[in-house]
Amino acid sequence: MKSSASIRRSIVACGAMVLSFVVPAAAATTERFPPVVIDTLSITDGQILTERDPGALVGAATLSILAGLDRQQTTQSGIAALVGEILLQTPVSFHQRMMPLVDAVSAIGGTIHVEMVGGERLNFVIEARSADLAPVLRLVAQVLLAPAFDTTAVQQAKDRLVARLRTQSNNGDAIATEAFREGYYRSSNAGLPTFGTIAQLNRLTPLDAQAFFFSAYRRTGTLLSLVGDETDATMQAAKMVIAALPTGASQPAVIDQRATLSPNTKIISYRNNAMPWIVVGFPAPNATSQDFGAMLLFSTFLETALLPDLASLTLDPSLRPVTVRYDYYSHPATMFVSIDGGGAEPLLALRRITLVVNDFARRELDDQSLLALKQLALGRFITENLHPEERASAIAVLAGSGLGADARNVVLRRIEAVTSADLQQVVRRYCAKYTLSMVVPHRDSGP
């Protein structure tokens, strides 16, 4: 277990290591990163946000629509994800042939997939060569104007979601996270299963999907972010996508209010997994809160303090034995720690979480430690948003969280402005209580 002094040494060491990946060693300052320039174009209640990257071979786009979980009725769990998949399976005209949108985009040399963001938004994330973004966006506009709700498209979409649910049923992280979210968001549709359940999906009809599309897919609040070597053709295609949506706003569904879980609740699920998986969830400030920057700093350090070695920071987050995710785009926001019992000792990790929380709550950091922690957080934020697809998604998610078109610069400024007192106050305010979600190995009692 780390002492207070060693925790501070870890901050300095981790900050120096991450900083070495993103800035020259001589530039040890939190003011090293130049601002990102985002051009904004409003299109009758929708917005196009563009980060131009002249000469970039690869570009990306994210279409973010207020058509997520909180547009579902409680009897329609899974329909938001189903409609998103139906749009991907809708046939489009491509080279004088009809084929599903997802296949046509692949034939162009790009990718498109759906992500559910918090309880509100559904994002279509696209990546392609910059020169091919315009034809891909024109295909998306074609689908939005005439989505297919025939039996074939609906069944194909259901099959994809059912396959995902079956894969998820063997994933300890997914099981523990879903259980935590369902418990934490008991008074919000954000707690509904992201992809529904197999039984619920089977009950949904083409008419249900069609009705959801025409009520939820509206222009108000829609964001389309573009990253790459944008041309006039790309901008015209982006305008076509926004214009393909009807004007007006969708409305959140009224849900049955359920009692909120009390702090320090334990949620236990039994599965035939080989090793346990634990999710420790904390309440957290949302992106527009004055506490946002300090929580970003703390969540960044908490992950480094829980990893078995600094080399783990170089791994993709999905491969790390411990990950800390700050879900600031859900309402209310959360921060949760996911611990893989196969790669980290859960009880040791829980003790270390308590140690770090108590230490940060009691003592202010010295200037050197705070600077190193800021460098660590800045480096993490930038390295997690290097690729065009990641940058496009970050622009849309952060803007949709209420930070506006200049959101990425706002995040950097919020990090730079944090004081040691801010950090101490945030840890005291949000991290004293937690919800524990556990997936425990279950063995059949038979021979």
Q: Residues 221-260, buried b or exposed e (16+ Cβ, 10 A)?
A: bbbbbbbbbbeeebbebbbbbbbbbeeeebebbebeeeee
Angle at 335 between CA 333 and CA 337, to 5 degrees: 155
- Please report the pLDDT score of residue 39 as a whole number: 74
Domain boundaries, the chain: 4-22+262-441, 44-243
Signed CA dihedral, 75, 80, 85, 91: sign only: positive
How far apart (Å, rounded) are the C-alpha atoms in residues 203 and 37?
47
Q: Which CATH number is correct for 44-243, 3.40.50.2000, 3.40.50.1970, 1.10.150.20, 3.30.830.10?
A: 3.30.830.10
4-22+262-441 and 44-243, same CATH topology: yes
**24 neighbors 386 (Cβ within 8 angstroms):** no
Q: Can you tell me the distance from the alpha carbon of 251 to that of 249, in angstroms, rounded to the nearest whole number? A: 6
Mean pLDDT by runs of 10 across the 447 residues of the chain is: 48 41 37 63 82 89 93 86 96 91 95 88 95 96 95 92 86 80 73 86 94 95 92 94 92 66 69 77 90 93 76 62 84 85 76 87 87 87 84 90 84 91 93 84 53
pLDDT confidence of residue 36 = 66
pLDDT at 22: 34
Pick the CATH number of 4-22+262-441 from 3.30.830.10, 1.10.10.10, 3.40.50.150, 3.40.1010.10: 3.30.830.10
Model's pTM, two decimal places?
0.83
